């Protein structure tokens, strides 16, 4: 049946499922999940890097840290990347 001879009810019924899914935003869920997973992975990697930096800086003596211009209180800021910002 051509679109010119279809009734309004037939057009609505044939388009309803796609519009309903789009209206509910279900077509966007896979993309949103991918972004969420990527965000969580990036945050976990950043946290892992902060822990690595903290562990390494904690191995230095107070004198070695002072030679670098740091104190023990500066270690969290250095690990977070906010030291001197």
Burial status of residue 16 (CB atoms within 10 A of its CB: 0-12, 13-18, 19 or more) = exposed
Distance CA 50, CA 44 (A): 10
Write down the pLDDT at residue 23: 65
Is the pLDDT at 7 greater than 80? The verdict is no
Q: What are phi and psi of 5, to 5 degrees?
A: -100, -5
pLDDT tens per residue across span 29-59: 888 899 999 999 999 999 999 999 999 999 9
State whether the Cα torsion 47-50-56-62 is positive or negative: negative
DSSP symbols for 55-71: HHHHTS-HHHHHHTT--
pLDDT tens per residue across span 8-28: 555 555 555 555 556 666 677
């Amino acid at each position: 049946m051509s679109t010119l001879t279809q009734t309004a009810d037939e057009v609505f019924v044939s388009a309803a499922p796609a519009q309903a899914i789009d209206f509910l935003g279900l077509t966007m869920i896979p993309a949103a999940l991918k972004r969420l997973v990527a965000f969580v992975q990036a945050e976990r990697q950043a946290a892992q890097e902060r822990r690595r930096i903290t562990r390494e800086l904690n191995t230095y003596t107070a004198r070695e840290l002072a030679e670098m211009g740091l104190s023990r209180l500066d270690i969290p800021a250095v690990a977070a990347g906010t030291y001197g910002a």
